[in-house]
Structure 1
Amino acid sequence: MNYQSGNEYLHDMPLILAGPMLQHTEPESVTVWIALQQACQVELKVYDTTNNGTVLGDSLFQGRRSTIALGKSLHIVAVTARSLDMYRLRSDRIYAYDLQFIDQTDQTQQTLQQALCCNRFPTVNISYFAHQKPTFVLPPNNLQDLRIVHGSCRKPHGHGFDTLPILDCLIEETASQPRQRPHQLFLTGDQIYGDDVAEPLLWVSSMLGDALLGWEERLPVTQKQPGDVAYYTPKQLPPGDRADVVTHQGGFTAGLDNKRAKVVSHLLSLGEYYASYLLIWSPVCWPNAFPQGREMMRTRKATRQWDQQVQNLRQFIHTLWKVRRALANIPMYSIFDDHDVSDDWNLNQAWCLRVLGQPLGQRAVQNALLAYAVSQAWGNTPWQFEAEQSGEKLLAAAHKWSASQGTDTAAYEAIARYVGMPPNNAHTGLPEFVPDGSVLVLDRHPEALTWHYTVRSNCHEVIVLDTRTWRGYPAEQKPTAPPMLLCPQTFERQLSVPLQQASGIPATMVIAPTNVFGLKVIDKIHHWQLQRDKVFATDVGDAWNINSKALAKFLTTLFEQRQKIVVLSGDIHYSSAVRLSFAGTSGNLATQSVLVQLTSSAMKNEETITRILHTRLKHWLLPEKVRHWIGWLNPPNMVEQRAKKSHRAQMKPDWNCALEWIPRQNIQTPNFGDRISWLKTPRQTAKNEKWQWLQQLMFWKYPWFQDGREVVGVNNLGLVHFELTDTNNSYKVMQDSYWFSCWYPTQIVYSRFESQLLPNQSLLPIEMNLRA
């Protein structure tokens, strides 16, 4: 392939570059997202099926929408189909869908199968049935039949095997069983990595991005001297050479604290962010061949790293066909976390001033948010992109920006307005903040898109939080002070209002991209780093419990409306389950409640420390103990109970709570988990066979040693389900964390976390303890 020529780069590719991906799906409508290389009108039809999904029935829903031209060779649409006669889809039935593509130039038509295939991809399978149509099921009526999959942190060149392909196995195993089949997928953050990009991945993203746009973006930089350059193009910032520009011109903090390697290939251009989404979800746009390290890098170390990263990427690409098929057959919802833009995104006020006050930093953040809007948010909340809505106005502005090859200032300003970029002060050049009680919030236009949303069915509701763009920064503290992850006004919008909109729903889930509760040792490290003002080293401020007032407000807001809460979270590269038992004494809190936090992370980004936590060493050396807090309502606050007295110890608390870690059960192997053949590339298989005798000597890989008790610290994917118990007709919630075994890598296993959805009475004292 010639990566300098967009036409040649895309010549051998099919019409469909990525997708189809099933997104927001409910009884009244079905939305499918797709990326094409030509402008088309896309027709979506939804069909009934019989015989457990094997036979297509009548067409029930129809919808049409034209693609939006985001570049010369990038045309995206999220098309929604609805019933013309008020028909509603039902639970416990398998439905299928099909797509037709009408070329807007010559009116020729292609079927879905034709649009998927080309000389390079002569056969593409995105179905589990002989009729070759993607299928799906709606959530069931009974909670005990509900199956929710979630995960986060999927870095293409991260260590270990990608676990998102396991979703394909889960669907394939139960494709004809609507009650057993996974019903929804929630990606809880870091779907792409704007920072910490492998050099070969940036090489592909940059060339693909320019090919998709059909033009080269001029990335603005600050001219300190009259003779300094005013802009860079992506080609002028090659892989491995972006650290200085990203850190000093963009202001990004990922390169601070000896983390320079995280930014040497940082994404910056709009084309690069667009390309990243196509590359993580589809095998189509990846090249057949990568150059060797010695052709691209200047030092031996960099050459070896390039070649190793290429091997990691080849493994990632090898299983992308399973990811593509899975995402076509399950409703997928997502929310961003920091890496979808850049490490530390909006971490604190200092980050906002440092990055959004720089032309390059502001441009990169806006590019990332625009790419997120068209690649993820459109499918999450399709109603925001209908006629006359902010999303449709954003799409029009994005089209004009690209059509002008990045010169239409009005279009650029419109994009900033609709993605919620704060305006910059005319005198200081710094982003504007507005007060919200005792905190400051980034200013935004009233027409800006909202990233939070709620998904409901007959048996559950999922409240998806935006904890990145509505942070409350303390007005009277230094700029590096930990923020409220939700400012006061958005507690009402994102939590109180959705909770008040429905009642009597058996299960309430909340998507919190950053953990509410984490390992105690991590809390101690965060507080220690905060005292040293080293907040960017370990993302101090991203965990809810680093700001006690915000955490107290979060808990009491939830428990005023619900007594049973399940939080789904990611971010921290391990899987775990914790249960918080809560007891209040006044008002709406005069009852006992429970919150179970289920964490699933990372899908592909395990680290040395998490692999150690995964083993029995963690439980032996540093076990998690029960923790207790007392709290107050006005003003909201909470204090962990310790031996020493607190300055508020004499004030009668309004509530108390206790946190316990739920141990994971013994490892099990699913029916589809033994000796899987699709996982390894031929080169990896040969290497494994060569050194297989050595595996038997590695005692730390033995199943017994790997069977830790507190976390799953290797790449994993979580499946959440419920079971009705005999205790007061209540439920218990379970998370099966699937991962690839260390002792036999071509084997899938899972560890189960199981918790009653009832508070632990033994941890809640009858009399409130007044000593903190």
Structure 2
Amino acid sequence: MNYQSGDEYLQDMPLILAGPMLQHTEPESVTVWLALQQACQVELKVYDTTNNGAVLGNYLFQGRRSTIALGKSLHIVAVTARSLDMYRLRSDRIYAYDLQFIHQADQNRQTLQQALCCDRFPDVNISYFAHQKPTFVLPPDHLQDLRIVHGSCRKPHGHGFDTLPILDCLIEENANQPRKRPHQLFLTGDQIYGDDVAEPLLWVSSMLGDALLGWSERLPVTQNKPGDVAYYTPKQLPPGHRADVVTHQAGFTAGLDNKRAKILSHLLSLGEYYASYLLIWSPVCWPDTFLQGREMMKTRKATKKWDRQVQNMQQFIHTLWKVRRALANIPMYSIFDDHDVSDDWNLNQAWCLRVLGQPLGQRSVQNAMLAYAVSQAWGNTPWQFAADQPGEKLLKAASDWSASQGTDIEAYEAIARYVGMPANNPHTNLPEFVLDGSVLILDRHPEALTWHYTVRSNCHEVIVLDTRTWRGYPAEKKPTAPPMLLCPQAFERQLSLPLQQTPKMPATMVIAPTNVFGLKIIDKIHNWQLQRDKVFATDVGDAWNINTQALAKFLTTLFEQRQKIVVLSGDIHYSSVVRLSFADNSRSFATESVLVQLTSSAMKNEETITRILHTRLKHWLLPEKIRHWIGWLNPPDMVEQKTSQSQRTQTKADWNCALEWIPRQSIQTPNFGTSPSWLMTPQQKAKNDQWQWLQQLMFWKSPWFQDGQEVVGVNNLGLIHFELTDTSNSYKVMQDSYWFSSWYPTQIVYSRFLSQL
């Protein structure tokens, strides 16, 4: 199927373009997100089950909501079901849900199975049971039974196999065991890549986006002289030819410092951002075949690149059915990081001035944030999208903007208000900043959506931070200075208040999309680049420990309220576990506190350097040693100490801490891990079989050499669980990082990291 006309190919699509995706789920309510190609009223029912999920019982919850028309053929809804008689769902039980669709045009009804299927997709399976209904379980009452999955950085054309389909294996293996199947999924950033886009993916996204909207957006550009073009449509900016426009007209920094190749096919239009979410969650909107490189590209090099990327896309699409089924059967929560908009998004004040001061940059950022709001944030925080709330007002503005085919200025300005875009100064056309203590923050409307939120159960709480839109930029330093990732009022709203709202839980988890602590060599590179003012080359300012005042504030804010903290993070394209022990000298905190950082990255974006870190070579050449810091409370700050200095100077500080890397245990193979038949396309399998004899001769491909001690540097997915160690409620936290072996035959294996809390 090739994209010629939107009406032609949409006729071959089922009603459901993406979803159902189970999202915010708690004892009182269940929310399911869907993208449809026609306007419908959607009815959600939640059922009890018996026989360990195999038999449907009575329905317990019910809810209805009409879709929002975001385009001629794009109608999105997050429908929430609740009990009418105050019934609460319980842990240790399997529940199922079903959906009905009432078409607004003719009032015809469709079942869930009818809405999933069409001639191209005659058989769609999103269940693990014979009744064909998706199921879920709530978090358990006891921490040792809790199973949390997390991951980040999923680029469709990234190197290696996509690891998110492994989640489907984890659920399927224990689908009828409520204490063993995963209870929640947290995606911690870079769910899509707005900047680093494969040429074939942009080709699909542009065509699909225009078809879904039913119109083509006119993207504003700066006119340097009267005869210059004032607008571009997406089709006028074809794949592989966007670098100059993206860098000079939009102001994006992703292509600076010799990284031009990263932005050749940057997303810009609203339709492209909408389409990207449908394409990463579902196989429905992908074409059956792609055009060949010689039909699209002019040079031999570009042709080869296109064909190589097409192969990567086809491998990604091949396993999307497992991703779709998994996301229908586990509550999924997410938060953005920079690539959901563009690399370096809000990195520092210089980025904000450079991008948000350009009409095209401002438009593209707003498009990305609107797409995130309707595709992810709606399901994360459905209460913000209830009647008369900012989210509902945003949905109406988005619908009006599309209905006017991008001409309703009032609707556009309303979208800007509700997604939190700063106003521009009328004299300079630069974004407005306001003071928050000693730092500057982007100004925003009081009714703007909040992207942070908290998820709680009987045994754990998860505080999800927004470290992108509430940054504090140093007022007295140059615009490229590293920011506070949370400004003072953000610390209060996102950390202090949630920690104070509930009594101490058995487990407190904090999601920090960018790493709190990373490899020491990376810290050295960041500091070196900062001295050279090359901050955009390696995201200098995204790591918490570049701004020591902000890191000190982060640690002390946590330890004022909790003794045991688990931080979930991603961003850096490797998996690891580090343990921070915190000691108080001022008696302001508990005498002994612990923070364990669990990192899971990337789901699909391994790199040459991370593959080297993955092996024993990293531990031989650059082992991670214990690091020490001393810190102060007023004002908050901390300084790293050499080991020889630690004992002598720590008594002069208010607190001190030590950081150690937890080694990963030897690899293990799960029951479903041996030669998974679903993994490779026929072309990929034939290629691997052809070169299998050579792979076996490569020393660095051997299981022994690949079994490094500190990180998993290939694509991975993290499963977190806890172990009760004694009767004093002391726990160990474990992260099983699942990855695909590089030896033959290919296996799914996992490396276990184990740390005392």
Q: Give TM class, smaller chain.
A: over 0.9
- The structural deviation recorded for 1:693 is 1.2
Secondary structure of 2:476's match? coil
Q: Does the 8 Å CA contact 2:510/2:567 hold for their aligned counterparts? A: yes
Deviates more, 1:33-42 or 1:688-697: 688-697
Separation in structure 2 between the aligned mates of residue 436 and residue 500 of structure 1, nearest angstrom = 22
CA separation of 1:731 and 1:643: change in aligned 2, threshold 3 A: closer
Residue identity matched to 2:214: G
- The structural deviation recorded for 1:9 is 2.1
Q: Deviations over 1:183-209 (max 9, x none)?
A: 000000000000010000000000000
- The structural deviation recorded for 1:126 is 0.1
**1:362 paired to 2:332:** no
Q: How does 1:162-201 map to 2 (within 5 A)?
A: 162-201=162-201
**1:735 paired to 2:735:** yes
Q: Does the 8 Å CA contact 2:630/2:650 hold for their aligned counterparts? A: no
Separation in structure 2 between the aligned mates of residue 661 and residue 728 of structure 1, nearest angstrom = 25
Q: How does 1:39-118 map to 2 (within 5 A)?
A: 39-118=39-118
Residue identity matched to 1:551: L
Residue identity matched to 1:754: L
The 4+ residue runs of structure 1 with deviation greater than 3 A are: 643-646, 648-651
Uncovered stretches (5+) of structure 2, i.e. residues with no partner:
none
Separation in structure 1 between the aligned mates of residue 355 and residue 744 of structure 2, nearest angstrom = 45
Separation in structure 1 between the aligned mates of residue 609 and residue 686 of structure 2, nearest angstrom = 28
Q: Deviations over 1:358-392 (max 9, x none)?
A: 00000000000000000000000000000000000
- The structural deviation recorded for 1:319 is 0.1
Counterpart in the other structure of 2:383: 383
Separation in structure 2 between the aligned mates of residue 562 and residue 643 of structure 1, nearest angstrom = 27
Secondary structure of 2:162's match? coil
- The structural deviation recorded for 1:729 is 3.3
In the superposition, the TM-score normalised over structure 1's length comes to: 0.97
- The structural deviation recorded for 1:667 is 0.2
Residue identity matched to 2:252: F
- The structural deviation recorded for 1:675 is 1.4
**1:146 paired to 2:146:** yes
Secondary structure of 2:639's match? strand
Counterpart in the other structure of 2:303: 303
Separation in structure 2 between the aligned mates of residue 590 and residue 406 of structure 1, nearest angstrom = 56
Q: Does the 8 Å CA contact 2:511/2:569 hold for their aligned counterparts? A: yes
Secondary structure of 1:305's match? helix
Counterpart in the other structure of 1:707: 707
Q: Does the 8 Å CA contact 1:32/1:79 hold for their aligned counterparts? A: yes
Residue identity matched to 1:54: A
- The structural deviation recorded for 1:686 is 1.2
Separation in structure 1 between the aligned mates of residue 588 and residue 223 of structure 2, nearest angstrom = 58
Counterpart in the other structure of 2:205: 205
Q: How does 1:385-534 map to 2 (within 5 A)?
A: 385-534=385-534
Deviates more, 1:191-200 or 1:744-753: 744-753
Separation in structure 2 between the aligned mates of residue 33 and residue 726 of structure 1, nearest angstrom = 41
**Cα RMSD (Å):** 1.2
Separation in structure 1 between the aligned mates of residue 684 and residue 651 of structure 2, nearest angstrom = 63
- The structural deviation recorded for 1:644 is 9.2
Residue identity matched to 1:34: L
Counterpart in the other structure of 1:261: 261
Uncovered stretches (5+) of structure 1, i.e. residues with no partner:
758-772
**In percent, how many aligned pairs have the same letter?**
88
Q: Deviations over 1:221-242 (max 9, x none)?
A: 0000000011100000000000
Q: Does the 8 Å CA contact 2:627/2:643 hold for their aligned counterparts? A: no
Q: Deviations over 1:139-171 (max 9, x none)?
A: 000000000000000000000000000000000
Q: Deviations over 1:40-62 (max 9, x none)?
A: 00000000000000000000000
Counterpart in the other structure of 1:353: 353
Q: Deviations over 1:421-451 (max 9, x none)?
A: 0000000000000001110000000000000
Secondary structure of 1:526's match? helix
Residue identity matched to 1:665: Q
Aligned positions, number: 756
Q: Does the 8 Å CA contact 1:679/1:746 hold for their aligned counterparts? A: no
Q: Does the 8 Å CA contact 1:282/1:324 hold for their aligned counterparts? A: yes
Residue identity matched to 2:504: G
Secondary structure of 1:195's match? coil
Residue identity matched to 2:205: S
**1:279 paired to 2:279:** yes
Separation in structure 2 between the aligned mates of residue 111 and residue 247 of structure 1, nearest angstrom = 47
In the superposition, the TM-score normalised over structure 2's length comes to: 0.99
Secondary structure of 2:254's match? helix
Separation in structure 1 between the aligned mates of residue 496 and residue 587 of structure 2, nearest angstrom = 16
Q: Does the 8 Å CA contact 2:338/2:468 hold for their aligned counterparts? A: yes
CA separation of 1:413 and 1:10: change in aligned 2, threshold 3 A: same
- The structural deviation recorded for 1:651 is 8.7
Counterpart in the other structure of 1:594: 594
Separation in structure 1 between the aligned mates of residue 585 and residue 379 of structure 2, nearest angstrom = 42
Counterpart in the other structure of 2:611: 611
**1:289 paired to 2:320:** no
Separation in structure 2 between the aligned mates of residue 727 and residue 695 of structure 1, nearest angstrom = 50
Residue identity matched to 2:180: Q
Q: Does the 8 Å CA contact 2:2/2:289 hold for their aligned counterparts? A: no
Secondary structure of 2:413's match? helix
Counterpart in the other structure of 1:632: 632
Q: Does the 8 Å CA contact 2:600/2:717 hold for their aligned counterparts? A: yes
Q: Does the 8 Å CA contact 1:397/1:411 hold for their aligned counterparts? A: yes
Residue identity matched to 1:743: W
Secondary structure of 2:62's match? strand
Q: Does the 8 Å CA contact 2:650/2:656 hold for their aligned counterparts? A: no
Q: Does the 8 Å CA contact 1:47/1:61 hold for their aligned counterparts? A: yes
Residue identity matched to 1:112: L
CA separation of 1:278 and 1:650: change in aligned 2, threshold 3 A: closer
Q: Does the 8 Å CA contact 2:563/2:590 hold for their aligned counterparts? A: no
